[in-house]
Structure 1
Amino acid sequence: MITKQMVDIARGHANPYWEIKSITAPYGSPLITDETSLNVSSKVVLSILKEIDYDIDGVIIAAFGDPGLENAKKFTSIPCVGLSESSMLVASQNGRRFSVATTTPKLKSSIEERANLLGVSNYLASIRITTSDPVLIMSDHVQLIEELRIVIMKCIVEDFADAVIIGGGPLASAAKDLKQFFDIPIIEPIPEAVRYLSRMISDRNK
């Protein structure tokens, strides 16, 4: 269900002539909530890349921790992008201060590491996390929206963020719904990943 939602969102922002295929991890946690499941996902990503048909133009790793992204870029010459990478690069454009609103407290350090690796840590104002259990809240969309809305408001008012990333692939539908409540950019990782991949493919084909 979550994979289908993410693919539908990606299709809505992709070139209409693109064919988008999804591959769900055959093992590991269905929801990445801690460093252990993130590390397992990194291994899964590489194993999938070794088996897929390479008659493709690009890959989006649809998890906010970008599991296996660096190894994927080393393994294949086709463009590979991650959700965290794509959204943080956009959020920090022109020195803009940004925050990340997410549901997984045990992944806070990995998000900080991604910002540091991407060279945007100086622009990261905060990482704010919802209060409910990250697995349980996914089954209550109304509660998810409300808790993220409160967190985003704190990012803006207390942390002076000029943009807020909704940090999670499974939060994609929530990210879309939250934009209506705020005047500042609420950044959706999946559409940003599609746009980033599109630019990379275009540059590669020049």
Structure 2
Amino acid sequence: MRIKVINPNTTWSMTRTIEAAARASVSSDVEIEAVSPTMGPVSIESHADEALAAVGVMDEVRKGEADGCDGYVLACFGDPGLHAARELASGPVIGIAEGAFHAASFLGRSFAIVTTLGRTLGRARDLVNEYGFTRACVAYRACEVPVLGLDEDPESAYAALRVECERTIADASPDAIVLGCAGMAGMCARLQSELGLPVIDGVAAATSLVEAMVRIGAKTSKREEFAAPPAKEVVGLLSPFTRD
């Protein structure tokens, strides 16, 4: 089995952190291919960043289909390009926000999201509503650490993240914490040990769920909305997506 884990930003040091979390979450016979697109933002912290990143996500799925990948993980908490990726992919595609929410729902009746910057909380709310977890999510919080700060100064970032998690637990009393950034993947186990409640890393959750879907033979439906996009000419940046 081959799972492609796509970090939609172009910071490869973060991709390596994501790769380690993905590898640790699957069986030994699963091949993990962790990549960043060849174009796109170095971090994703806005709607504009997500729109740019979605192009790179589609390109990586296109290449994965040619290489015979069995499934895909979108390793950004905004799940950029998720629906487009499902149109292009034959196997399952799971975003880390979607995967994390489902995983948290298995472990308790409520969860809180603790993410990087407050400006991204609106997107988190949109995804919670879209995926059907509005009643379960009891808090949306940010530690105000930029995405690249997780990589550049991990100890300071961890300290800020832990403080915000502790405040969230005291204020909202969630059953679990969902980490709102793929770059937090390497901090999950330590946080869970120190906080004493389930802490969900979406990279591990989504990757393990993709593995499970592939093992039961599940593929993305091509009957209606996620059928391949209609063939048409595409000019400029997206020209590799032209189909006959």
Output the TM-score relative to the length of structure 1.
0.92
2:159 counterpart (142, 146, 150) = 146
Gap runs ≥5 in structure 1: none
Distance in 2, matches of 1:138 and 1:51, equals 27
Deviation at residue 138 of structure 1 after TM alignment: 3.6
Secondary structure at the aligned position of 1:135 is classed as helix
Q: Is 1:2 aligned to residue 2 of structure 2?
A: no
TM score, norm. by length of structure 2:
0.79
Q: Residue 134 of structure 1: CA displacement? A: 4.3
1:54 and 1:94 map into 2 onto residues whose CA distance is 36
Match of 2:42, as an amino acid?
Answer: P
- Measure, in 2, the Cα distance between the counterparts of 1:131 and 1:47: 31
Find the counterpart in structure 2 of residue 46 from structure 1: 58
Deviation of 1:47 (Å): 2.3
Deviation, 1:74, is: 2.2
The answer for unaligned runs of 5 or more in structure 2 is 1-12, 220-244
Q: Among 41, 45, 51, which residue is 1:33 paired with? A: 45
| Structure 2 CA distance for aligned equivalents of residues 42 and 24 of structure 1 | 12
* Correspondence 1:9-20 to 2 at 5 A: 9-20=21-32
Give the deviation of 1:196 after TM superposition. Answer: 0.8
Is the 1:34–1:104 contact (alpha carbons within 8 Å) kept by the matching residues of 2?
no
Which one-letter code corresponds to 1:4 in the other structure? Answer: R
Aligned residues with identical type, % of pairs: 22
Q: CA deviation at 1:135?
A: 3.4
Structure-1 residue corresponding to 2:137: 124
Count residues in correspondence: 206
CA contact (8 A) 1:84 1:167 kept: yes
Following superposition, the deviation at residue 93 of structure 1 comes to: 3.2
Say which one has the larger Rg: 2
Counterpart selection for 1:174 from 187, 196, 203: 187
Moved beyond 6 Å, runs of 4+: none
State the 1:150 CA deviation.
1.0
